[in-house]
Amino acid sequence: MSPWNSTIICDKEYLGDYFINFLEKVALSSNPPWNSDYAVMAIFGPIQKLAFFKPGEDNNAWTTIEPGLFVFNDVLFFNNEFYAVTRDGDVVACDIGDPFCPKVRNVVPQLDDGIGKNKYLVESLGELLLFRRLFYYTVDLELYSNDYEDDSIDDTMGFNVFKLDPTGCNKLHEMKTLHGQSLFLG
């Protein structure tokens, strides 16, 4: 069964004008046409929760993961687990081997110190990396008109890059170089 023939449930109290970016990001464990034992994890809804879909005889629906964390920024499949990062910088690993009882463990608690908003997870050279976008928030009064609902601008100042220890030892190692690589985030 295709995950797109199933439905992610969203609480009615959060509906309304919040359908913009209802599916924020989707990650696959493998390519479904090449491997029927795949899983999909999505960041969805107005408070950017996590849900996964894993086809099987007993499970053909999306399952919401409830780690007590909200506003996820990114999700990635790495070393047979899904990893997700919140806007505050909490990184969790999700083991969905048993689709009826997913296990979530904290890999890194709250990285954020208030200077970064967006976080990105990247696999590079066999390592799991966390990018924190550094920005300052300004208001450009010249852009303001009644046609704009948001006249603010997030100006990117740079990025911090950290190598994660996926074993859950709560260790981050800040990287000073990407070893000649170019990485595109989004």
For residue 17, the model assigns a pLDDT of 54
For residue 116, the model assigns a pLDDT of 59
For residue 151, the model assigns a pLDDT of 47
Domain-by-domain residue ranges, the chain? 3-126
Q: How confident is the model at residue 83 (pLDDT cuts 50, 70, 90)?
A: very high
β-bridge pairing 23-28 and 40-44: antiparallel
Average pLDDT for 18-36: 78
Q: Residues with Cβ < 8 Å from 80, sequence gap 6 or more?
A: 29
Is residue 93 helix, strand or coil?
strand
**Top-confidence range, 6-10, 128-132, 171-175:** 128-132
Q: Residues with Cβ < 8 Å from 13, sequence gap 6 or more?
A: none
Which of 29-33, 47-51, 111-115, 162-166 has the weakest average pLDDT? 111-115
Say how far apart CA 40 and CA 51 lie, in whole Å: 8
For residue 27, the model assigns a pLDDT of 93
Residue 78: closest CA among 28, 32, 119: 28
